[in-house]
Structure 1
Amino acid sequence: MKNTFLVAALTVVAFTNSAFAQDNISVVGSSSVMPLMEVFGETYQKTHPEVFIEVQGPGSSAGIRAAKNQSADIGMASRELASSEEESDLHNKVIARDGIAVVVNPSNSVKSLTAQQIHDIYAGEIKNWKEVGGADKPIVPVTRDTASGTRGAFEEIMMLTKELNGIKVTAITQHAQVTNGNGHSKTMAAQNPFAISYISLGSVDSSVTPVQVNGTAATVENVKNGSYKVARPFQVLYKGTPNTRTQKFLDWMFTSEAQKIVAEGGYISIK
């Protein structure tokens, strides 16, 4: 009788454990992609309770490495891969894009800049608006704090990094005013007629004017068609053939439900 009871009890425990068991999907990489991926995971798990999606954001380079060595099911990157990082069986797909608008005060007569001019302004090499066709007034560059993913992308796109003793550091002038958020960055340009700043494209409103970059306007359409270059891809990466549960999650990221989340989050959907 005791043995029969024990077998029955163990059977119940095994059934219970299997009923509540979850298949983990590990996602590692860009801290900029992480907030979007966390919402993806939470939303997906509502209809797939058997899956647990664990998201970590140590950075794009770490995400690429994790995908390559398969220490994670999915890697995340908010930049293009370097040629040295590419492998024939390493797959990367863009799940969203993030446009970065370079903005000035609406009273500023300068409405267009080249990427080189923007670089030179933030590097402290161009210091007066008259050097780029504006008024004879000092330029006040505004940048984000060093923890900002937007700043990291802006530095990369505008080539505003340099090596110092073998370590990559920022090349943005120390005279730039530092803000701690998108809203503060926008306010600085809105309130100072001589300021220049950069913010997420979705944050642009009538309080600031986005300048054309290399003759191209900062619009969602131009980010989508690739003509506006001050933008970054939000990519997922995986090596070889994913397992079934990971493939289903990857496929879901391209559905209308997921892409609606992209747009609602202030990013640019790929559909």
Structure 2
Amino acid sequence: MKRKFLACFAALTLGTMMFAGCSANTGNENKTNEASTTPATSAEASPEASSADATRKGVKISIVGSTTIAEPMEKLVEAYKATGSSDNIEVQGNGSSAGIKAAIDGTADIGMASRELSEEEKGSGLVETVIAYDGIAVVVNPSNGVADLTKDQVKDIFEGKITNWSEVGGVDKDIIVVTREAGSGTRGAFEEILKLLDENKASTIVETALVSEGTGAVMATVATKDAAIGFVSEGYLDDTVKAVAIDGVECTVDNVKAGSYTISRPLILVAQPSIKAEAQEVIDFIVSDEGQKIMSDKYISIK
């Protein structure tokens, strides 16, 4: 009887110990699960910080001006947006003069200019940032036999003093002069470099010249008229037109960098000294290695 009682007591004690152990394990597991599912609030961004970031990304940045710069600018903006810095940037190509004026007036954060600023424009106090260099090619129809012109000959053709291709070694055909619209940075640079301006700074390009709105229009006109001559940025050259050498020097990147090809210009961004931080960051990106890699697709990098 005594033995049976001891056996029962031992079994009861063992069962109690096992139950206590299970309860303890269950408690520990619950604590572990609670710890693993409880968010680490210290690592989370505060609602105020998230709101500030969203506001910063949504700040509108307006970039206006040169149609020459506008095309690569679209690519630059896409690359900049991919960094997560901003998603509200507008680019409008409407000519260098319009871009500079917009920057002066404050209707744009950044102006794009594909020519040097005039003394009057410089007097407005804008901050200039050169983002690339460009050679301006003088182009003719691919069927044109003329391959080389002097700078003086080009000037005389655009002023209407030379009117037939036979006067410069070509066939007997009247020359069709094609120019850009007034306000175009490319035209402004071309006129300044070749001195196609009178004492009042008015253009001396022949009045009978065909006026084309934009680089693409100049290319299309010259490509379809075998007696035409025009001018475009070196970066836009393709086999639809032929670039003539100037004083024996071809319009190439290396020649522009070397300074031996003399019809060239800077590509500039202009802004007020008080430019907002978000817009300045866009300019900083453009002059960075990543931005310059994009610019060098068609233009000559500043690096």
**Equivalent in the alignment of 1:113:** 149
User: 1:232 corresponds to which residue?
Assistant: 265
Answer yes or no: is the 8 Å Cα contact 1:32–1:78 preserved in 2: yes
Count of residues paired in the alignment: 253
Q: 1:44: how far off?
A: 0.7
Q: Identify the structure with the greater helix proportion.
A: 2
Determine if the alignment matches structure 1 residue 220 to structure 2 residue 253. Answer: yes
Give the one of 127, 132, 137 matched to 1:91.
Answer: 127
Match of 1:61 among 97, 100, 113: 97
Counterpart Cα distance in 2 of 1:153 and 1:13: 51
Following superposition, the deviation at residue 39 of structure 1 comes to 2.5
Normalised to the residue count of structure 2, the TM-score between the two structures is 0.65
Structure 2 SS opposite 1:228: coil
Identity %: 42
Structure with more strand by fraction: 1
**Secondary structure of residue in 1 paired with 2:139:** strand
- Secondary structure of residue in 2 paired with 1:97: strand
The structure-2 alpha-carbon separation of the partners of 1:50 and 1:199, relative to structure 1 and needing over 3 Å to count, comes to closer
TM-score normalized by the length of structure 1: 0.72
Cα RMSD of the aligned pairs, angstroms, is 3.8
How far off its partner does 1:147 sit? 8.1
Q: Contact between 2:138 and 2:243, CA under 8 Å: does it hold in 1?
A: yes
Which residue does the alignment assign to 2:12? none
- Residue 62 of structure 1: how far off its partner (Å): 3.3
The code of the aligned residue for 2:175 comes to: V
Shift of 1:186: 5.1
Maintained 8 Å contact 1:182/1:200: no
For 1:82, the aligned partner's letter is S
Once the two structures are TM-superposed, the CA of residue 260 in structure 1 deviates from its matched residue by 2.4
Structure 1: give runs of 5+ residues left out of the alignment: 1-11
Q: State the partner residue of 1:123.
A: 159
Helix, strand or coil: the match of 1:33? helix
| Superposed counterparts of 1:56-205, under 5 Å | 56-87=92-123, 89-104=125-140, 110-132=146-168, 134-135=169-170, 137-143=172-178, 146=181, 149=184, 150=186, 153-155=189-191, 157-160=193-196, 171-174=205-208, 181=217, 183-185=219-221, 187-188=223-224, 192=226, 194-204=227-237
Taking the aligned partners of 1:61 and 1:147, their CA distance within structure 2 comes to: 9
* Deviation for aligned residue 1:82: 1.0
CA displacement 1:60-93 (0-9 Å, x = unmatched): 2333234345443322211111122224953212
Cα–Cα, structure 1 residues 124 and 94, in superposed 2: closer, same or farther, change >3 Å?
same
In 1, the alpha carbon distance for the partners of 2:98 and 2:281 equals: 23
Aligned twin of 1:270 = 302
Q: 1:107 to 1:235 in 2, by over 3 A?
A: same
What is the rounded CA distance, in whole Å, between the counterparts of 1:74 and 1:217 in structure 2? 33
Compared CA separation, residues 152 and 49, structure 1 to 2 (3 A): same
Q: Structure 2: how far apart are the matches of 1:66 and 1:104?
A: 34
